[in-house]
Chains A and B, each alone.
Chain A
Amino acid sequence: QKEVEQNSGPLSVPEGAIASLNCTYSDRVSQSFFWYRQYSGKSPELIMSIYSNGDKEDGRFTAQLNKASQYVSLLIRDSQPSDSATYLCAVGGFQKLVFGTGTRLLVSP
């Protein structure tokens, strides 16, 4: 059974701080890694994808991948109250994705 583990949170950070979200996965042959943001009552929205070891930056978001440790993380710099949401980690092999249960992030003004 392929598994993706995330701390459910909530992770509370003050506005302007860096939020660090973590995810581990069990399937060593996974090839694609994604972070989705989901606001309450809404559908998941893709915010980052990463496919090779290292860091990938997009605006205030940085995804980090370490395949040897089977670990993916998402850093959100200068966190804003509008970043308050549940962040889902998803790990894929061929086409199908396995999702973690998500980490709830709360950014306080």
Chain B
Amino acid sequence: DAGITQSPRYKITETGRQVTLMCHQTWSHSYMFWYRQDLGHGLRLIYYSAAADITDKGEVPDGYVVSRSKTENFPLTLESATRSQTSVYFCASSGAGVRNEQYFGPGTRLTVT
């Protein structure tokens, strides 16, 4: 099916472990984004990518790593998870241009114990 998917949908991990959240889109959108959503903070941009092999930091990048070797995939890695990274993570994508409507994946609920 076309669209944007995320996996896993739920993840529990321990402090200090590495965890990777996956994002895949079938629209051939050039831009992809990772957000985290926390109560009281709304959606905050972690990293984004304009194209394969082009990534840039957002508002809250510390503790996260991204890569984009293929246009359709944009994984987010927490290299050493901390409790403060417990959150809901959303991936989004958009086409290029000023009319930059972003479409969101279903989200990953991550709990770090």
Contacts and interface: CB of A to CB of B under 8 A. Distances in A.
Interface of A: 31-32, 34, 36, 42-46, 49, 51, 88, 90, 92, 94-97, 99-102
A45 B106 CA distance: 10
B101 interface: yes
Contacts of A97: 45, 100, 102
B100 A95 contact: yes
B101 A46 contact: yes
Q: Which one of B31, B35, B40, B101 has the greatest number of beta carbons of chain A within 10 Å? A: B101
Interface string B40-51: 111111001010
B48 A96 contact: yes
Contacts of A51: 98-99
A88 B90 CA distance: 14
A62 B104 CA distance: 22
16 contacts: A32-B99, A34-B102, A44-B90, A46-B103, A88-B42, A94-B100, A95-B48, A95-B50, A95-B94, A95-B96, A97-B100, A97-B102, A99-B42, A99-B44, A100-B42, A101-B42
Contacts of A94: 98, 100
Interface of B: 31, 33, 35, 40-45, 48, 50, 58, 90, 94, 96, 98-107
Contacts of A43: 90, 104-107
Contacts of B98: 31-32, 51, 94
B99 A49 contact: yes
Of the candidates A45, A101, A102, the one having the most CB atoms from chain B within 10 angstroms of its own CB is A101
Given A95-B94, A96-B48, A102-B42, A44 B104 contact: yes
Given A44-B43, A51-B99, 12 more contacts: A44-B90, A46-B103, A90-B102, A95-B48, A95-B94, A95-B96, A95-B100, A96-B33, A96-B45, A96-B58, A99-B44, A102-B42
